[in-house]
Amino acid sequence: MCPSAHSLNLLYEINSIGNVDKQYTYSADGLRVSMKIGNKTVFYQYNSHGDVVALTDEDGLVIGEYVYDAWGNIVKEMLTTEEARQNSFKYAGYFHDTETGMYYLNARYYEAKQGVFLSVDSEPGDEINPLTMNGYTYANNNPVEFIDADGEYAVGILIQVLKWGTKYVIKGRQVGIPKREKFL
């Protein structure tokens, strides 16, 4: 795997003989947009929590769907192509390690079945919010309202959605695209 030098976004995956197996593209905001395998491109579809809920092909046909519980356990998945079966990004856009069944959040591994991290947080937490002081807690024990984008800090979903929405509105106005067309 090769992350970008300027971020933790995975750009491509290579196999044991050094050939590129998968390539990833991102929006200007760092949201993963697509995965290319060979000559096929798969596009990621997200919900407001940041979960990958569907994969589509170049024609817009759904080739994969995921349903998760609040903690990120996969409740249901439907994958119709080999490209969809090779997707590693799922709940909250996290990398899902198929060998361990855990999510990798850059700083540490998250175990969705138990709803905890496997290693202690490097930050001691905040005395004002005691939930942050348990070094193994995922998303302040509230995965409906929080995500933990990198394994270090829980971020409110509403704040993240407002951040994404504000960026898109500002960018839409900067390039002169009417708001109505931008969000269709």
The string of pLDDT tens digits covering residues 8-49 is 788 999 999 999 999 999 999 889 999 999 999 999 999 989
Which parts of the chain are beta strand (E)? 2-3, 10-14, 20-26, 32-37, 40-46, 52-56, 62-68, 74-79, 95-97, 102-104, 109-111, 116-117, 146-147, 155-156
Residue 5: per-residue pLDDT: 41
Q: Considering the chain, what is the average pLDDT of its residues?
A: 83
Pick the closest to residue 38 from 51, 57, 64 (CA basis). 57
Percent of the chain exceeding pLDDT 70 equals: 79
How much of the chain exceeds pLDDT 90, in percent?
Answer: 54
Tell me the one-letter amino acid at 162. L
**Which residues are within 8 A (CB) of 121 and not within 5 positions of it... i.e. 6 or more apart?**
108, 135, 136, 151, 152
Does the pLDDT at position 141 exceed 50?
A: yes
Asked if 95 contacts 104 with a C-beta cutoff of 8 angstroms, the reply is yes
